[in-house]
Amino acid sequence: MGKTIIEKIIGNHSGKSVNPGDVVDMRIDARIARDFGGANVVKNLEDYGLPIDDPCKTFFTFDCNPGGSDQKYASNQQICREFARKTGIKIYDINAGIGTHLSIDEGLICPGGTLVSTDSHANIVGAIGAFGQGMGDQDIAYAFANGTVWFKVPPTIKIILVGEPSPIATPKDIVLAILKELGADGMLSFTSEFYGDYVDRLDISGRITIASMTTEMGGICSFFPPSKEIIDSCNSQDIRVNSCYADEDADYAKTVEIDIDNLVPLISRPGHPEDVVPVSEVAGKKIDSVFIGSCTNGRYEDLLVAANILKGRKVAPGVVLKIVPSTDRIWQKAMREGLISIFKEAGALVGNAGCAGCADGQIGQNGPGELTISTGNRNFRGKQGKGEVYLASPSTAAASSIAGHITTQDNIPEKPSLFKSERRKPVGATSWLRFNPLSQVKPAPTEIKKPITDNRKPITKIAGRVWVIQQDNIDTDMIYHNKYLAVTDINEMGQYAFSNLERWKDFPEKAKPGDIIITGKNFGCGSSRQQAVDCFRALKIGMIIAESFGAIYERNAINTGFPIMIAPELKKLNLQDGDEIEVDFLTGQIKKNGTNETITANPFSEVQLDIYKRGGLLK
């Protein structure tokens, strides 16, 4: 039986012939830590006295908060700079741009290569036929020190795009169609390979757009067989190419055909990237702001689409347009080619290269009640601010900024929509407190939980009281909001657990050590932030049991030695808050105390049990 792309890449980097389900140590060609995770990586390395395996393959990228506008971000960046000076690690500093894009453009990764990063969208490199995976800071510290990581070979879905989309449909519309078809967990724990006539014609920008949103479907990585254009580009830069293509008789978990024939522009409604509808269904809705950028749509080709629509036009009165290129190289090209002038003449704010609105404090965030059209990859509640975020293509975003309401490039009105004038009552001291958004922000709890200790005995059975969160697709922003990402002391993290999850924001106050969290499918989807696991460790939560976990979250929990368990039949126990259960890690048996009700979940794997008994990957 032939091999898929991921099986060939992992095989080449482990020295073994591998199949889905195999666990191997895989060599990593490029190891990257970003500014919010980098300081924690450094702390792990220094706490355990670990070396750097190969400084030439090890990098820091400062893309979350390039301005260092937050004191903790500035401190984290400086910690990384000082560590890099001692070890010879290269830094792509605040002027460089998004690390995953740099890895492609600067030749840090090539077709057939492997890359890990603290960025959950490291799978962007699948656009050139390379393997990329977002990981937590312990995983990355291990990769920095050893040059390898353990990895479970995933099964692969073969996706064939069939048909010819409408002339105004873009790669962003294509991936939104895929997301609508597969759902938020449609690729959970799978890789995928893309094929079809449309795929063959896609340039690197379009491939990046589709590959980047693999994360929003729970996927590990999406691969595009490298085109001649990509191979030629690598050869011209004297980059080593080790392209991997699937064998004709490769064994796929399933094959999915997605019809994109005559596809029209699409848009995701606020709160859920997978809640996709035609733009026409929400057309005319008044907007406050537009953001064009992110790792999904910040390439030069994306900016060019926006510039062609904005040229000779003005942003609608009262609407704010924010544009952020993904890298400084793209920024410079946009300036040379006149795109920056077009943006400024239209009335846009152009920021320095970076992640922008996806990171707290950066260009692209919105305020309470603000309605934003964004070209980003996520619109989880609170991810990009306190307003509502629609996800769309650069084409739809640019057209909407001119119209003042949601529309497409072929339906821009001669006159923009205007905000209605509202007479406001005089605002006195009392009403200021009532209406000022800042007055609604609750101060962080002053009491900090007792420091976490890592000297727990590695018991393999536990019993505890449960908290039942009957919700699927709880993302890492709901678990641990991005405004707290710069926190590096685990003892401070517990107070922020579920800080962005409705009805559960008081969890840190009511939870007790040893409690067990029971939840639904795809828990921990979204980003690679380690804090979304560590906040529960800080609270001394006994374990988390879910119907399924986001792939990166599962790794992060296992690598810290924090007990998690997958229980597809969890609902059969009909658990309620306060019930007590007993869990056996070795057999997977879960028993509801006071009854004869039991189910069998997935027991700890050999890797999980070994790391758990050691107290963490780095121990």
Considering only residues 195 and 596, tell me which one the structure prediction assigns the higher pLDDT.
195
pTM of the entire structure?
A: 0.84
Which domains occur in the chain, in start order? 5-259 (3.30.499.10), 270-403 (3.30.499.10), 461-614 (3.20.19.10)
What pLDDT is recorded for position 238?
58
Residue type, 194: F
The sign of the torsion formed by the CA atoms of 305, 306, 307, 311 equals positive
pLDDT-derived band at 229 (thresholds 50, 70, 90) equals confident
In degrees, rounded to 5, the angle at the alpha carbon of residue 535 between the alpha carbons of residues 529 and 541 is 130
Pair 135, 155: CB distance under 8 Å: no
What pLDDT is recorded for position 102?
95
| Secondary structure string (H, E, C) spanning 292-317 | ECHHHHCCHHHHHHHHHHHCCCCCCC
pLDDT-derived band at 361 (thresholds 50, 70, 90) equals low
pLDDT-derived band at 437 (thresholds 50, 70, 90) equals very low
- 345: phi then psi, degrees, rounded to nearest 5: -65, -30
**Can you tell me the distance from the alpha carbon of 549 to that of 538, in angstroms, rounded to the nearest whole number?**
20
**Can you tell me the distance from the alpha carbon of 560 to that of 563, in angstroms, rounded to the nearest whole number?**
9
What pLDDT is recorded for position 449?
38
Tokens read off for 555: 């790794």
pLDDT-derived band at 486 (thresholds 50, 70, 90) equals confident
- Three-state SS at 367: coil
Q: Does pLDDT of 482 surpass 90? A: no
pLDDT-derived band at 533 (thresholds 50, 70, 90) equals very high
Residue with tokens 């997958």: 566
